[in-house]
Every structure is written in C-alpha cells, then in structure tokens.
Amino acid sequence: MTRRYRLYDAIVEKHLKSLRQMVFLAGPRQVGKTTVARKAADIYLDWDLSTDQQLIVAGSQAVAERAGLSQLREHVPVLAFDELHKFGAWKNWLKGFFDSYAERSRVVVTGSSRLDVYRRGGDSLMGRYFLYHMHPLSVAELLKVEVPGAKLVRPPAALAEPVWQALWQHGGFPEPFTKRSRTFSLRWHSHRINQLLREDIRDLTRVQELGQLSALATLLSQRSGDQLVYSNLATEVRVAEDTVRRWVQTLVSLHLGFVVRPWFRNVAKSLRKEPKWFLRDWSSIADLGKRAETLVACHLLKAVDTWGDLGLGVFELRYLRDKQKREVDFIVIRDGAPWFLVEVKHGDAQLAPALQHFQMETAAPHAFQVVIDLPFVKRNCFAQKGPVVVPARTFLSQLV
C-alpha cells in the first residue's frame, strides 16, 4: 500500500524551505517520525546502526564529509539524525554541528517519544531548533493535508464512513489504522505498551519498581477521561503520593497519555486542582463514552499543539469544573482568553445545562456539544455563537 502523505511531511517541507533552525520531531512511539524524516532527508543517520554511530562519534567534520557539504549544490542538503539522544553528548554534538554547518545544511532530529524528555534537561540548543509535536492521524488530516494558517479552522468536510469507522475502531496510529484488523490492532497495542514500559522507562529513568509502575499504567489504561486522584492511586499501587505524581509525569513524557488541567483565571488555584488523564490511543478503550471523550481529547491536543508549534498563537487545552460539580469536558484557551467549550457525548443529543452556564461564566465565543453518533452536517460550527449540538464528524473536520 502506498504511504500516506502526512501533515508533518508538509510542515517539515515548509520549515526546511524557509528556516535555518533544526527541526525537532517529538511524539509517541510508532507515530511515523522516522518515516517523515527519511522522506525529507538526503542523508539519514540512525544512532542504532553501528556504522552510522561510528560516523557520528568520529565528529561533525566526518558527517559533513559524508554529506558532501563542501561541494556546490543546487539545493541545501538535509541531514536526518534518528535516535541521536542515545548519544551521551548529543546536545553539544548538535550545537557544534549546527554552528559549523548551518549555512550549508538543514537538519531534522527525531527519536522515540524520549526525545522531549532529554530536551528539557538544560537547553544548550536554544535558538537553534524548532520543536514540532507529531500526533496520530485525525479526521481533518485524513480529509486533506493542509498546514494551518492564520484562519486556524477549516470549512467542514465529510469523511467517508469506512474511514471514520476505521479511525474510531483502530485509532489514529498509522499502522493499525491502515491494516484495519482487530487481531493486528490488539497485538500492535500490546507490543507498543510493553516496549514503552520495559525499554523506554528502563533506559530513560531511574525508576526501579517497574512492576509497580506497570501496575499504575494498567490502572490508567482503564481510566481515560477520569480525574487523577493521586492519593487514591498511591494507595492502590502502594507507593508514596509524590512517587505517583512523578510516575504519572514520566508516563506523560513518554506519551502513554496526557493530562488536561482545570482552567481558572486564578493560575495558582488551577495548579492545586487534580488534572484529568487521557490515553494517546483511544482504540483500546471498551467504554464507548470514555472512548468518545478520549478521541476528541486527542484531536484537540493535536490542534492546540500544531497551532502553537506553527507560531499561530498560545493555546491551552483545559477542562472546567466548579464547586457545585458542574463540569464541561474541555475548554480551549487562545492567547490567554477562552475561545471555545466542548462537551463530548457518544449518543446523547440533549444539550447539557453546564455548557450554557460555563459559556456565560467564561464569555467564550463558542460552546459545542460534540456527539459521536450524529451524521455529518455541512455547517460551520464556528459560525454558531450560542451552545449548539454538533456532530463529531463536522466539528473534528474543522480542526487539524
């Protein structure tokens, strides 16, 4: 089967044509980072290959000679470095290479989901790269590969029913989505989780209690969309609460899942409240309501990350809950101000009262009740001002 042209192919191509900074691609295992890097690169070097490793260790000049950077070319060659973060001195190595050869080359750096973990530990590369968060396939990307511009949201478009069902049942990771086999998806999912828990955590962290951390990951795999109560998790896993907090952050850093924090105008108050947890892969979630909420959460995270990465504004994905336990699943904050609210339902088309309440409280221009089971409607969601019930297929087609 022909490889699908991805949104991130287009983003990387646009970056390499217009910017000298290195491209950093971060994201979950098996999301397609290596494939995007290979397509963009004239020279591809993989730290896990002994011959490439020897070349990199030999120094920047050896790599430059291999790439022919001293030769006159019609276009500036692109070098891709995969799994380079496993090299202990990778940041200093890249800094030296970039400072010497930035005018004669372009650089793409990828890794497993671990690249972003290393990046945070003291950034000696500041100003020399731009980071792009790579996400699984989404409704909008499956409709049309289009790099977002200043307008942000797209006109609505209908996704073919078999494609929608494949996304719902098998998730957005390219291989299981393409295979569309229940048995393959189950095996793929199990293998990915085992790799993450055994290899990534062992290689990247000082966590010794792998059995207990695996137990925590198992608990969280059943609780996508739930509020994280760290004290309860600590009791269940039999470790200290601070340990659970660190382990959850480790699992977030490795892209098993992500957290969505509550939004308050008072930032300190927001930080004191417990976040909600979401898996990166909704296909394994049996509960249809939780699967629906997780699918929409993943689409929203992809949108806010992409808009932010492209410099289109500062975006946050949060949720709303008050002392009366009224709650709305998501609120998207744009440049510090509420932009739109989202309440997710699998099949309930009756408007949730909390949606109107929180729209009045936040003064957000839009409030959507997104329903998975409703058929596509060709109307622009973002032209509606009051709370409105919208099909998921319409709403998600307008994102990224």
The answer on pLDDT for 117 being more than 60 is no
- Say what the pLDDT of residue 196 is: 82
Structure token digits, residue 298: 């993943």
Give me the chain's average pLDDT, please: 92
- Say what the pLDDT of residue 269 is: 56
- Say what the pLDDT of residue 365 is: 98
- As a whole number of angstroms, the distance between CA 382 and CA 390 comes to 11
At residue 370 the predicted structure's pLDDT band, cuts being 50, 70 and 90, is very high
What pTM was estimated for this model as a whole?
0.94
- As a whole number of angstroms, the distance between CA 130 and CA 120 comes to 13
At residue 379 the predicted structure's pLDDT band, cuts being 50, 70 and 90, is very high
- As a whole number of angstroms, the distance between CA 135 and CA 115 comes to 14
Mind listing the pLDDT tens digit for each residue in 45-82?
Answer: 999 999 999 999 999 999 999 999 999 988 999 999 99
Over residues 105-132, mean pLDDT: 76
Over residues 198-220, mean pLDDT: 77
Over residues 26-49, mean pLDDT: 94
The answer on pLDDT for 33 being more than 60 is yes
Structure token digits, residue 66: 């291999």
Q: What does the DSSP 8-state code read for residue 109?
A: E
The answer on pLDDT for 1 being more than 60 is no
Mind listing the pLDDT tens digit for each residue in 223-268?
Answer: 999 999 999 999 999 999 999 999 999 899 889 999 999 998 765 5
- Cβ neighbors of 135 (< 8 A, separation 6 or more) are 27, 31, 172, 298, 301, 302, 305, 306
Mind listing the pLDDT tens digit for each residue in 129-176?
Answer: 999 999 999 999 999 999 999 999 999 999 999 999 999 999 999 999
- Say what the pLDDT of residue 267 is: 52
305 C-beta neighbours (distance < 10 Å), count: 21
- Say what the pLDDT of residue 10 is: 98
The answer on pLDDT for 270 being more than 80 is no
The answer on pLDDT for 308 being more than 70 is yes
Q: Please name the amino acid found at residue 316.
A: E
Q: Measure the CA angle with vertex 61, ends 56 and 67; round to 5°.
A: 80
